Amino acid sequence: MSDKPVIFVLNGPNLNLLGLREPEIYGSDTLDDIAGKLEDRAQELGVDVEVRQSNHEGHLIDWIHEAQGDNAKAILLNAAGFTHTSVALHDAIKAVSVPVIEVHLSNPHAREAFRHKSYVGEAAKGTISGFGAFSYLLALDAAMQL
């Protein structure tokens, strides 16, 4: 393991389908494309990124806890559909001292009304959304300021 600080980048359900799923909303970049851009930017910033994706809520919660144990500098979390439903993710974020930045490719407030509520956002340090894949890079830069 590197001596560099680490930032966890956690991705929720259906984000494994980026590039295929509704590109008019989510863009044409795959999650691997986004991970590559993050790794390049992280190298410039002198940090490591640990990029993970799961369709299972419990994995995301376990990884939030793991970030705490690994003394991560921050967590970038795109909880996807769990954003609007998961009190458990809200509670996991509140339970750790690692700052969490909520990330979204699209702007949830410009979409269906059910996407306007964010349990993740209520617990996160801040939210970056609506800039496509660039949202992740903006969030990484923000994490470096924490």
pLDDT in tens, 114-128: 778 899 999 999 999
The domain spans of the chain are 6-144
| Residues carrying an active site annotation | 26, 104
pLDDT score, position 103: 97
CATH assignment of 6-144? Answer: 3.40.50.9100
88-93, long-range: CB < 8 A, 24+ apart: 88/57, 88/61, 89/57, 89/60, 89/61, 89/64, 89/119, 89/120, 89/123, 90/119, 90/120, 90/122, 90/123, 91/123, 92/60, 92/61, 92/64, 92/65, 93/64, 93/120, 93/123, 93/124
Residues of the chain with pLDDT under 70: 1, 110
Residue 10 token pair: 């956690």
Largest CA distance in the chain: 44
pTM (global) more than 0.95: no
pLDDT score, position 109: 77
